[in-house]
Amino acid sequence: MVKLSVVISAYNEEKKIEDCLKSVLFADDIIFVDSSSTDQTVKIAKQYTSKIFTRPNNPMLNVNKNFGFSKANNDWILSLDADERITSELAHEIEEKIGNSDVVGYWIPRKNIIFGKWIKHGGWYPDYQLRLFKKKKGRFPGEHVHEMIKIDGGAGYLNSSIAHYNYETIFQFIEKLINIYGPNEAEQMLKRGYNFTWQDAIRMPFKEFLSRFFAREGYKDGFHGLMLSVLMAFYHFVVFALIWEKRGFEKIEDENMLEPTELEFKKTYKDLLFWIRKEKIKQIKNPIKKSAYKLLKRLS
């Protein structure tokens, strides 16, 4: 019989860890890696598994996850975070797939519940994550916090989703951005040879907003979609600002920043109008009205 190990890494997650652990009781083994928590996380985890390992709280979160993978003894490994849950449908599908599989890993869709709502657009769903893989066939490369598990072999896709109770407050979003995600992403961009230009202070956040709200239809999630698109634009602005900081707050000598800044905002405004018109056209069902609207916009 094929057996499954679940590996969970957590730090100060006393409010969420119990629901996470309860959701994986179907597994044959639970490996819990605690990143030196100072709350009741470990005490709660001990109620569900005896295989608990304490490690330093590494800002490169995936280092401790890889350690957990090395402690798993079963045929397959499922990697999970404290704010994630395995539904009964997903548990059944996992058991079925690993018992009869010709691949070494599986991508699993993930439902991001943000500010109390399942976000279905804006790039937040299906948000495929490679979390299920054969032992010794997968690990995190250890390069940045948002990386995916890399596997040695082919991968399939599951239909059922992981439930991810993502950001619950604005403070949580900003705290993670400032303390973890932003600095790491800025460092990775510089390592990849990012070509610094001051115009990106405008271009990067605005491009992210257009991508989230229009191209990936974040507007379909209502005000949640709008706010998340703005927050993700802010995320990219902060990443740019951190890159500028790492470059020693480089002085850009230009006695008149007004004209080039005006030019950049005019370009972004044109892009904004383009996407508004494009999405409006998509929503027109009548083909005659749609053609007429396209013609009118061309003439204007």
Q: Are residues 21 and 148 in the same domain?
A: yes
Domain limits for position 78:
4-165
Q: Are residues 89 and 213 in the same domain?
A: no
The predicted pLDDT at position 292 comes to: 63
DSSP secondary structure of 89-158: HHHHHHHHHHTS-SSSEEEE-EEEEETTEE--STT-SS--EEEEEETTSEE--SS-TTPPPEESS-EEE-
Last residue of a domain, one of 165, 193, 216: 165
**β-pairing verdict for 110-114 and 162-165:** parallel
Instruction: Note down pLDDT in tens along the chain; length 300 residues.
Output: 899 999 999 999 999 999 999 999 999 999 999 999 999 999 999 999 999 999 999 878 899 999 999 999 999 999 999 999 999 999 999 999 998 889 999 999 999 999 999 999 999 999 999 999 999 999 999 877 889 999 999 999 999 999 999 999 999 999 999 999 999 999 999 999 999 999 999 999 999 999 999 999 999 999 999 999 999 999 999 999 999 999 999 998 777 889 999 999 999 999 999 999 999 888 887 776 666 666 666 655
Q: Are residues 96 and 179 in the same domain?
A: no
Tally of domains within the chain: 2
Q: Are residues 193 and 286 in the same domain?
A: yes
Last residue of a domain, one of 165, 200, 215: 165
Q: Which two tokens stand for residue 215?
A: 């191209």
Residue 129 CA to chain centroid, in angstroms? 9
The predicted pLDDT at position 156 comes to: 97
The predicted pLDDT at position 59 comes to: 79
Q: Are residues 67 and 137 in the same domain?
A: yes
Residue 140's domain is classified under what CATH number? Answer: 3.90.550.10
Q: Are residues 187 and 211 in the same domain?
A: yes
The predicted pLDDT at position 87 comes to: 97
The predicted pLDDT at position 92 comes to: 97
Q: Are residues 156 and 182 in the same domain?
A: no
Q: Are residues 82 and 147 in the same domain?
A: yes
pTM of this structure: 0.90
Last residue of a domain, one of 165, 195, 221: 165
Sign of CA dihedral 284, 298, 219, 181: positive
Q: Are residues 135 and 175 in the same domain?
A: no
Residues 6+ apart with CB under 8 A from 219: 121, 213, 225, 226, 279
Q: Are residues 161 and 174 in the same domain?
A: no
Q: Are residues 85 and 35 in the same domain?
A: yes
Q: Are residues 88 and 104 in the same domain?
A: yes
